[in-house]
Structure 1
Amino acid sequence: MLGEHWFLYRFNPQRPLTSDSVNLAQEETDLAESEVRGFAVVTQTCDIVRSCVERPFIEIVPLVEVEKQRMHEIQRSRLPRYA
Structure 2
Amino acid sequence: MNTLFWQKVNNLIKIQNKTQQSVSIECGFNPRRIQNLSASNRLPDIIEAKKIADVLGVSLESLVSDKEPDFKPSVERIRGFLKEIEKELENF
Q: TM-score, normalised by structure 2?
A: 0.25
Higher helix share: 2
Higher strand share: 1
Q: Rg: which structure is higher? A: 1
